[in-house]
Structure 1
Amino acid sequence: MSPRARAWWGFLAASLIGTLGGLIGLGGAEFRLPVLVGFFHLPSLEAVILNKAVSLVVVTAALIFRAEAVPFDQLLPHLDVAVNLLAGSLLGAWWAAGHAIKMSRQLLNRIIMVLLIGLALLMLSEAIFEFNNGGTPLIDAGPIRFIVGLAAGLSIGMVAALLGVAGGELLIPTIVLLYGLDIKLAGSLSLMVSLPTVIVGFARYSSSNAFAVLRQERLLFRWMVAGSILGAGIGGLLLGIVPQRVLITLLGVILLISAVKTFQHAP
């Protein structure tokens, strides 16, 4: 496939993924990863790095776009939530990215497959139990909640680094359930946590030889960024047309199947 054809297919795939992700409030990075490996035949580590680079741009754009819907002054009273999760996620992202560079590709493929299956099951459970409305926090404010938030952030940072995702699919339910905040605030706070987490993981990967993929696939990268941002915008405009519960179920099943099919025999 020529570089121009790869760029076109990358734009098309990223636009579709971004639209579907935008309909449920996610960036779609977990769906981009199987496409990068299965369709564009990138090795897993290179795919993770490219996916993380796209996620970095998309998260930055999303944070700017959401500033109008959820102004920063509404987030200020809840900065402690972001700081609590960040304290763990930055460490988790740095540690996981460092280990991903050193581990065998076969082991990395297996870990990625397990994590994607876990995310798919999380999406399906969210569709079944609909735990997307804020209310009473799971744990009252205090040292115990801080420790639990730290542990949650650590785990989310590790997952984000290993998959090249922003982590919103894990951060939003965590913020809603653990801290009792509504879904709208949770979405913006998750972006505030995601951006530094992605940057830390990205910086850690820069020491790997696989980082050269950004130079080798720069055309694909640019067009996937453009498609992802366009798709997220379209998804936001189409919000509510498809019942969210049905859509999350469908995407959960697609992610489950694509994770197994792609990473069982990844290059």
Structure 2
Amino acid sequence: MAQNKALAFGGGTIIGALGGLIGLGGAEFRLPLLIGAFRFAALEAIILNKAMSLVVVASALPFRARTVPFSEIAAHWTIILNLLAGSLLGAWLGAGWATRLKSGNLYRVIAVLLVVIAAVLMFGHDARSGAPLLNGAAQAVAGIAAGFVIGVVASLLGVAGGELLIPTLVLLFGADIKLAGSLSLAVSLPTMLVGFTRYSRDQSFSVLGRNKTFLLVMATGSIVGTLIGGLLLGVVPSPFLLPALAAILVISAVKIWRHG
């Protein structure tokens, strides 16, 4: 048990640091850990993953505020609402589907999609240009559609959706990579809460009550990690973050493909 607690704390810290630095929930890395090392069943692992991602997302926002102030996030409220218009519905529907469907094929589709996004980020976009892909009504419609897909994926896989949200914010809306990380967290939090509420109707939700100590240990490690990541955000240069995100996307794709 002591070894499990050490692994839970250490894993939570490392994944939380990613969340604080990049603007992710870190769930793609946590899911293999929950299933492989801790032997949780798939749906139970997704629910636990969602709970831990909520902790990471909620704590990463304030820890990143020294570099990306809340006032700057609030100034882009239209982008947040645009994505939420699709993601909240997607999260509700996705959580319902996840309790009934086998999602092996979905894992593989998402894995391929992550690799494509990584390639576009690295070779098809100048992160310093800030030029949005679309404008006006076309951008709004694309934002709702993207939000819906991300909401579905976030609920089905138990993730925060940052791996898809950040590229969407950078490519579609022309956001700076550091701002995109915080905007992603602002969209992820309510999206995840909707999915989490939907999951609470399923009997597998009881896994949270049966593993309170495990949750507390991993949550503590996650908060320590997001603090570290938030501090690193102020010193890590922006040009490093885009390749780092692309690498995370590829690694996540491999893990998700194998899981599928």
TM bucket, shorter chain = 0.7 to 0.9
Match of 1:255 in 2: 252
Match of 1:187 in 2: 181
Match of 2:138 in 1: 144
Structure 1, gaps ≥5 residues long: none
Cα distance change of structure 1 residues 41 and 244 upon mapping to structure 2, 3 Å threshold: same
Shift of residue 58, structure 1, vs aligned partner: 1.5
Shift of residue 225, structure 1, vs aligned partner: 1.3
Q: Provide Cα deviations, 1:75-122, integer angstroms capped at 9, x if missing partner.
A: 33321111111010000000010111122xxx2344335424533553
Q: Are 1:203 and 2:200 matched, yes or no?
A: no
Between 128-137 and 75-84, report the one with greater CA deviation: 128-137
Shift of residue 168, structure 1, vs aligned partner: 1.5
- So what's the TM-score if we normalise by structure 1? 0.84
Distance 1:151 1:204 in 2: 21
Q: Secondary structure at the match of 1:136?
A: coil
CA RMSD of superposed structures (Å): 2.6
Match of 1:12 in 2: 10
Between 114-123 and 43-52, report the one with greater CA deviation: 114-123
Assess if the C-alpha contact under 8 Å between 1:168 and 1:194 holds in 2.
yes
Distance 2:4 2:25 in 1: 21
Distance 1:140 1:16 in 2: 38
Match of 1:159 in 2: 153
Aligned residues: 257
Shift of residue 189, structure 1, vs aligned partner: 1.8
**One of 61, 84, 88 as aligned partner of 2:82:** 84
Distance 1:151 1:167 in 2: 14
Cα distance change of structure 1 residues 148 and 245 upon mapping to structure 2, 3 Å threshold: closer
Distance 2:254 2:72 in 1: 39
Cα distance change of structure 1 residues 177 and 124 upon mapping to structure 2, 3 Å threshold: closer
Distance 1:243 1:175 in 2: 17
Cα distance change of structure 1 residues 253 and 26 upon mapping to structure 2, 3 Å threshold: same
Distance 2:65 2:19 in 1: 19
Match of 2:167 in 1: 173
- So what's the TM-score if we normalise by structure 2? 0.86
Between 115-124 and 55-64, report the one with greater CA deviation: 115-124
Distance 1:9 1:244 in 2: 27
Between 116-125 and 149-158, report the one with greater CA deviation: 116-125
The runs of at least 4 consecutive aligned structure 1 residues that moved more than 6 Å come to: none
Assess if the C-alpha contact under 8 Å between 1:121 and 1:256 holds in 2.
no
Between 125-134 and 86-95, report the one with greater CA deviation: 125-134
Q: Percent identity?
A: 48
Shift of residue 14, structure 1, vs aligned partner: 1.8
| One-letter amino acid of the counterpart of residue 32, structure 1 | R
Correspondence list, 1:240-251, <5 A: 240=236, 243-244=240-241, 247-248=244-245, 250-251=247-248
Q: Are 1:119 and 2:114 matched, yes or no?
A: yes
Q: Provide Cα deviations, 1:206-247, integer angstroms capped at 9, x if missing partner.
A: 001110110112222111111122223323444539954664
Q: Secondary structure at the match of 2:99?
A: helix
Distance 1:248 1:66 in 2: 17
| One-letter amino acid of the counterpart of residue 28, structure 1 | G
Distance 1:136 1:39 in 2: 43
Match of 1:108 in 2: 103
